[in-house]
Structure 1
Amino acid sequence: MSQRFAFDWDAAYRVAGLPFGITPWTAYAEVSPTALRVRYGPWSLRTALSNITSATRTGGYTFVKTAGPPHLSFSDRGVSFATNGRAGVCVRFDRPVPAIDPTKRIVHPGATLTVADREGFAEALGVSLGG
């Protein structure tokens, strides 16, 4: 049985996401017994649970660097799916995965998701929540 995790939305992030089709109805993380699937408007990420190495609490994101569409970190090639600037979970992968590039040439060693239930999300992934 899959578990669906809603994002934790701040009002300003809702407004910033609307032009990109990112709403509470089109943004979620879903964990099945074998895989993680993230939908963020028209963008998506999918990976096997066996590819997940860790999950860490993160937070204090700047609005400009995180609001709207997914953002690519130039420092580590991670991808952010952010709906608030306060708190999220950074999930690290053993093998990088595609998410923001339709050609799948850009791959990410990690993804930050601002899900509402961070502890439950990490538990569903089968990892301890660090940080």
Structure 2
Amino acid sequence: MAVEFFPYRFDKRFAAMWLPFGARPGRDGVHVGDDRLRATFGFLRLDTALDNVAGGHVTEGYRWWTAVGPRQSFADDGLTFGTNHDRGVCIHFHERVRATLSVRAHSALTVTVDDCDGLLDAIGRDEPPPPDGEA
């Protein structure tokens, strides 16, 4: 399998939130290859074995102030490489992964790529939770 590149969908209104980190349209995004997943956000990187990817799901409707730019979640150990506040993919890992300059390792990474469905096809989708009352 050749490396597939899923560029971010940059919303230029929020350039002040991603330009200082060196993130650039056409260069940064998620690279999925035979055995690696690598996400770049300017000088920030997250790299892991593809076997470590548990799957992902679409997330949407973010508040811009919590979604744009590189973000570590206060609610959990997730990391975001955000370039817009509309839609992205939350990628889950079996084992936590450390990103460049991260103080802690992360169990998930949210990325605001242009082709969310294509990225999910490349990495696999999360198993849906069982309906209420079933487990």
Larger Rg: 2
In structure 2, the partner of 1:83 is 83
Q: Per-residue deviation at 1:129?
A: 6.0
Amino acid paired to 1:120:
G
Find the aligned partners of 2:125 and 2:21 in 1 and give their Cα distance.
32
Q: Is the contact between residue 100 and residue 106 of structure 1 (CA under 8 Å) also seen in structure 2? A: no
In structure 2, the partner of 1:65 is 66
Find the aligned partners of 1:27 and 1:78 in 2 and give their Cα distance.
19
With 16-25 and 51-60 compared, the bigger mean Cα shift is at 16-25
With 73-82 and 9-18 compared, the bigger mean Cα shift is at 9-18
In structure 1, the partner of 2:28 is 27
In structure 2, the partner of 1:124 is 122
Q: Per-residue deviation at 1:41?
A: 0.4
Q: Per-residue deviation at 1:100?
A: 4.6
In structure 2, the partner of 1:94 is 94
How many residue pairs get matched?
A: 127
In structure 2, the partner of 1:114 is 112
Q: Secondary structure at the match of 1:84?
A: coil
- Consecutive unaligned residues in structure 2, runs of 5 or more: 129-135
Instruction: Report the TM-score, using the length of structure 2 for normalisation.
Output: 0.85
4+ runs of 1 displaced by more than 6 Å?
Answer: none
> What is the aligned-residue RMSD (CA, Å)?
1.7
Amino acid paired to 1:17:
W
Residues 1:79 and 1:100: Cα distance change in structure 2 (over 3 Å): farther
Residues 1:100 and 1:78: Cα distance change in structure 2 (over 3 Å): farther
Q: Is the contact between residue 98 and residue 104 of structure 2 (CA under 8 Å) also seen in structure 1? A: yes
Amino acid paired to 1:107:
A
